[in-house]
């Protein structure tokens, strides 16, 4: 009987997910333990739909290098939460394909799939390993120090804030810029946008995260005070900031305004704060929603992030060789005075599935409405180094495209 | 009497304006013709406020290299339209500083300042040269084949569309993405976002520009048709697209919805089209407004654009050495079969000031709601090559910061 590997990607995109997939393929290449490596199209849905492709077509060095620099998810993704009804079909596909280990690259929700499948196989005494490989720009997985993909998103945000500040400081007029950053429940991405002020810059001026109740009066008060001595005030806010009451900031307005179709205007919180500031302060205000670019942009990816993502994938294969199951790979930061060091370990997936890690409240300075300097030591090692990107003849990064229609028969 | 140079920057930012300033400083360094080189803070306003700095502090090779990779406008900018009342004050400052040539780097509106000042000095028989140096991501200046800054913005858009497409194609569900691009009156930037489909890609699917009346019914019709055979439809639209009647698309809705402050909801056209498509088609729709990033992002700047911007600045100094005035530098594309060649010439600034060049209508395919392949030959040479960017120890591009408070006494 063959010992085969199956890999699936799940949840939202980042620029490091394909690098972890490349790491798994590299791990497969380096051992004789396994016979074939397959990928499922659109995560666990591809298992249910029998849409499986042979990844050995992409296991050469050139493909792997391109895979490592390709953003998003080249096998596609899904948001499927599996139920008991799905187990028999999944089992049948895994047995037909002689799967020894299933790797699932994903975040909190995807680890729920890992947990459920592992429990199911154990309960039926089926020897199939299920291993979780962490990824998410949200960085909200417990146990692991950080998640692959987060460092590159932080670097993009740090750099982009510098450029937005350059762009915003050219006119000698009072103006406020409000940048909205992804993060419905936690402020991990938003704190990275606060870096420029600690690293030689004078902006941003306000950072607001969902972990800390947002006070509209204090927000306006601080902007007003700053405008007496400077022209430009830059604020960065998580999309999910909440009032003390727990409701999202601007919620009433967002559901109050209705367009020609009768739709509620679901503009983001930055648009709401733009109107609030314009109304209360009366100067020029611009809101900027960074949207998907913060998770999709690979051009300024962090080399240490991408390298770690590859190692995390390879480590997952090591765990599989040792017949581990029901676990997720974990990045542990060593307590050292010699700069940044990490090691790869693992944790029972039950410690991660459906759970969330927030930004520590003691990293936030309530009075100054800003993060504390502690974030620098945490973040900078994750954003370090430049990729040696392969470009096409017009200078754009080359993306690997996997033929998702070339499914195998079984 | 000394022969001094004064440089000002005006209008909106790009990533190539500082490179043209560097070119002027390089031209100054290479000749003995001129004695001092000054810069005015916030364009012509800095002349009126006597806020002038000595640029020789930034004329070393290291500063110039950093200047060439710094986005936006390191001397600040203004949107001032000068009037006759301003002339005497400007004259007095110029004479005090013994200015021989005033270089003004800007777009259509800024060339109005060049024209007016030149006419004024001529009418008073004052020997001060006034020379316009073109810049604008909008690329809407007449006579010149293109403007410095445009190529880098196009490259950013081309690359960003690739990344947005990667991000959008991961889920196996019907979905529409609408990307809004700068361009109130002309579609030069938007056509660049159409490049991926001509260069190995299968998206975007619709391109809409202000030069061509927008038909909401045909727009929905095409999306509906495409969704019968594909999951993802990507549309790129200029912020200034108009109905056949001439009114901006979604104008009614935009002014119809009102928020808690009683403000009209001035969301962009992409937000309007998002609601239209969601209402009429019923699938997942996302709108993305690229905002200032398309003009401020230098990380994927076009080397040929930045190099040209420097040469345009140096050429302006050559024109000044030959005592030219009332002109703007022009990039002329040579008619050749040997790839891209250009030469630098000049035109009377009256041919440019307050005028606009649109995207030729015959570059647009009305039936397919897309630009024609002609754009490839026009655009690609402008987006060519990678910058050898100087980075700091954490991998971010270094920006030169000019001390705008160190003003000279006179």
Identify any residues that bridge with B9 across adjacent strands, giving them in sequence order: B105
Sort strands B284-289 and B99-106 into parallel, antiparallel or unpaired.
unpaired
CB-CB: which of B71, B159, B168 is closest to A163? B71
Q: What confidence category does residue B256 fall into, taking pLDDT thresholds of 50, 70 and 90?
A: very low
Q: Residue B126: exposed, middle, or buried by beta-carbon count in 10 A (0-12, 13-18, 19+)?
A: exposed
Local confidence band at A267 (pLDDT 50, 70, 90 cut-offs): low
Residues in B closer than 8 angstroms to A257, CB to CB, are: 257-260, 265
Question: Could you give the residue ranges of the DSSP H alpha helices within A30-174?
Answer: 43-48, 61-68, 87-96, 108-123, 150-168
What residue has token string 């997952």? A316
CB contact under 8 A, B257 and A253: no
A138 is an active site residue: yes
Chain B residues touching A278 at Cβ < 8 A? 263
Q: What is the pLDDT of residue B339?
A: 84
Distance to chain A for B127, nearest Cα, Å = 30
The reported pLDDT for the residue numbered A265 is: 47
Q: Where are the alpha helices (DSSP H) in A148-289?
A: 150-168, 188-193, 216-227, 251-256, 269-281
In whole angstroms, what is the distance from residue B146 CA to residue B136 CA?
9
Give the pLDDT confidence of B288-311 residue by residue, as tens digits: 999 999 998 898 999 999 999 999
Inter-chain CB proximity B297 and A42 less than 8 Å: no
B76 by DSSP, 3-state: which?
coil
**Would you give the end-to-end CA distance of chain B in angstroms?**
15
Residue range A53-58: average pLDDT? 97
Flag if A265 and B259 touch (Cβ within 8 Å).
Answer: yes
Looking at CA atoms only, how far is residue B54 from chain A in angstroms? 18
Q: For residue A107, what are the contacts with CB-CB under 8 A and spacing of at least 6?
A: A10, A11, A12, A134, A135, A136, A138, A140, A141, A147
Is residue A204 reached through a cis peptide bond, with omega within 30 degrees of 0 on the bond before it?
Answer: yes
DSSP labels for B200-226?
A: T-----EEE-TTS---HHHHHHHHHHH
Are A159 and B397 in contact (CB < 8 Å)?
A: yes
**How close does chain A come to B27, measured CA to CA in Å?**
25
Among all residues of B, which ones are annotated catalytic? Answer: 138
Q: Tokens 């296991």 — which residue? A: A59
Quick one: average pLDDT of B26-35? 98
C-beta atoms of A70 and B296 within 8 A: no
Q: What is d(CA B110, CA A233) in angstroms, rounded to the nearest whole number?
A: 27
Among the partner-chain residues B13, B164, B291, the one whose CB lies closest to the CB of A292 is: B164
Say whether pLDDT at B251 is over 80.
Answer: no
CB-CB neighbors (< 8 A) of B385 in chain A: 395
CA pair distance B300, B199, nearest whole angstrom:
18
CA distances from B391 to A130, A154, A164, B151 (A): 42, 17, 18, 22
A166, A234 Cβ separation under 8 angstroms: no
* pLDDT band, very low/low/confident/very high, at A253 (cuts 50, 70, 90): low
∠A42-A303-A165 over CA atoms, to 5°? Answer: 95
Both structure tokens of A326 = 């029901």
For B291, the closest of A79, A159, A288 (CB atoms) is: A288
CB contact under 8 A, B296 and A167: yes
pLDDT for A148 beyond 50: yes
Q: Are A283 and A173 in contact (CB under 8 A)?
A: yes
Quote the percentage of chain A above a pLDDT of 90. Answer: 90
Q: DSSP code of B350?
A: G
pTM of structure = 0.95
Question: In a mutagenesis test of the B interface, which of A259, A284, A378, A381 is the best target, namely the one with the most B β-carbons within 10 Å?
Answer: A259
Shortest distance between the Cα of B333 and any Cα of chain A, in A, equals: 19
| DSSP string across A268-316 | -HHHHHHHHHHHHH-SEEEEEE-TTHHHH--TT-BHHHHHHHHHHHHHH
**If you measure CA to CA, which chain A residue comes closest to B391?**
A386
Residues of chain A contacting B384 with CB distance shorter than 8 Å: 394-395
Read off the pLDDT of each residue in A379-399 and give the average, rounded to a whole number: 93
At A121, the pLDDT band (50, 70, 90 cuts) reads: very high
Confidence of residue B254 (pLDDT cuts 50, 70, 90): very low
Tell me how far the alpha carbon of residue B201 is from its chain's centroid: 26
Of A170, A291, A297, nearest to B72 by CB-CB distance is A170
- Given a cut of 80, whether residue A305 has pLDDT beyond it is yes
DSSP for B290-341, please give it: -TTHHHH--TT-BHHHHHHHHHHHHHHHHHHHTT--SEEEEEEE---SSS--
Closest-CA residue of chain B to A379: B394
Search chain B and give the residue with CA nearest A401: B166
Chain B residues whose beta carbon lies within 8 Å of the beta carbon of residue A271: 267
Across chain A, what does the average pLDDT equal?
94
Residues from chain A contacting residue B261 (CB–CB below 8 Å)? 275-276, 279
Contact B166 A267 (CB under 8 A): no
All residues of chain A having their beta carbon less than 8 Å from the beta carbon of residue B303 are: 395
pLDDT band at B263 (very low <50, low <70, confident <90, very high): very low
In this prediction, residue B395 has a pLDDT band, given cuts at 50, 70 and 90, of: confident
Mean pLDDT score across all residues of chain B? 94
Query: Where is B370: in which H helix or E strand?
Result: strand B370-371
Q: Measured between alpha carbons, how far is A296 from A290 in angstroms, rounded to an integer? A: 11
Contacts of B297 in chain A (CB under 8 A): 160, 163
* Structure token pair of residue A137: 């720009």
- A262, HSE (Cβ side, Cα atoms, 13 Å): 2
Q: What is the mean pLDDT of residues B355-374?
A: 96
**Confidence check: pLDDT of B138 > 60:** yes
Stated as kind and residue range, the H or E segment containing B233 is strand B232-238
Determine whether the interchain pair B167/A295 forms a contact, defined as Cβ–Cβ distance below 8 Å. Answer: yes
Q: How far is CA B379 from CA A86, A382, A395, B139, B154, in A?
A: 51, 36, 13, 11, 8
The pLDDT value given to residue B404: 95
Q: What's A409's DSSP letter?
A: P
Query: Are B276 and B220 in contact, with CB atoms under 8 Å apart?
Result: yes
pLDDT band at B394 (very low <50, low <70, confident <90, very high): confident
Q: Catalytic pick from A138, A205, A305, A307?
A: A138
Task: Find the angle CA(A42)-CA(A46)-CA(A50) to the nearest 5 degrees.
Answer: 160
> What confidence score (pLDDT) does residue A324 get?
98
Distance from CA of A323 to the nearest CA of B (A): 31
Is the pLDDT reported for residue A304 higher than 60? yes
Is the distance from CB of B389 to CB of B69 less than 8 angstroms? Answer: yes
Task: Give the pLDDT band of residue A9 (cuts 50, 70, 90).
Answer: very high
Chain B residue with minimum CA distance to A385: B395
What is the widest separation between alpha-carbon atoms in chain A? Answer: 75
Q: Nearest-CA residue of chain B relative to A382?
A: B394
Interval A148-176 mean pLDDT: 96
Which residue in A13, A263, A303 is closest to B170 by CB distance?
Answer: A13
């Amino acid at each position: 009987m063959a010992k085969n590997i199956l890999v699936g990607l799940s949840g939202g995109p980042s620029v490091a997910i394909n690098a972890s997939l490349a790491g798994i393929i590299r791990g497969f290449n380096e051992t004789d333990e396994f016979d074939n490596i397959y990928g499922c199209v659109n995560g666990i849905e591809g298992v249910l739909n029998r849409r499986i492709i042979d990844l050995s077509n992409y296991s050469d060095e050139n493909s792997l290098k391109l895979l490592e620099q390709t953003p998003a998810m080249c096998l596609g993704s899904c948001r499927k939460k599996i139920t008991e009804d799905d187990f028999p079909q999944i089992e049948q596909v895994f047995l037909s394909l002689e799967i020894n280990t299933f790797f699932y690259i994903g975040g909190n929700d995807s680890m729920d799939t890992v947990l459920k499948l592992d429990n199911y196989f154990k309960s039926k005494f089926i020897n199939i390993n299920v291993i979780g490989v962490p990824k998410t720009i949200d960085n909200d997985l417990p146990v692991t120090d950080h998640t692959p993909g987060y460092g590159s998103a932080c670097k993009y945000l740090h750099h982009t804030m510098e450029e937005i500040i350059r762009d915003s400081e050219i006119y000698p007029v009072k103006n406020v810029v409000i940048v909205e950053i992804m993060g419905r429940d936690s402020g991990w991405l938003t704190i990275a946008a606060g870096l420029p002020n600690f690293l030689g810059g004078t902006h941003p001026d306000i950072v607001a995260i969902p972990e800390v109740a947002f006070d509209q009066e204090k927000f306006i008060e601080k902007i007003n005070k700053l405008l007496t001595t400077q022209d430009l005030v830059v604020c960065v806010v998580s999309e999910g900031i909440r009032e003390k009451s727990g409701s999202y900031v601007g919620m009433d307005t967002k559901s109050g305004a209705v367009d020609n179709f009768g739709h509620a205007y679901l503009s983001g919180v930055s648009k709401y704060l733009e109107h609030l500031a314009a109304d209360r302060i009366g100067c020029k205000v611009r809101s900027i929603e960074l949207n998907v670019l913060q998770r999709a942009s690979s051009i300024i990816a962090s080399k240490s992030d991408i390298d770690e993502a590859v190692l995390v994938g390879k480590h997952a294969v090591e765990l599989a060789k040792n017949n581990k199951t029901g676990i997720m790979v974990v990045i542990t930061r060593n307590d050292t005075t010699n700069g940044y060091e990490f090691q790869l370990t693992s944790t029972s997936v039950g410690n991660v599935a459906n759970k969330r890690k927030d930004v520590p409240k003691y990293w936030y300075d309530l009075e100054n409405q800003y993060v504390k300097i502690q974030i620098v030591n945490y973040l900078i090692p994750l954003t370090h180094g430049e990729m040696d990107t392969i470009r096409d003849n017009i200078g754009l990064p080359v993306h690997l495209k996997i033929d998702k229609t070339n499914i195998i028969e079984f």
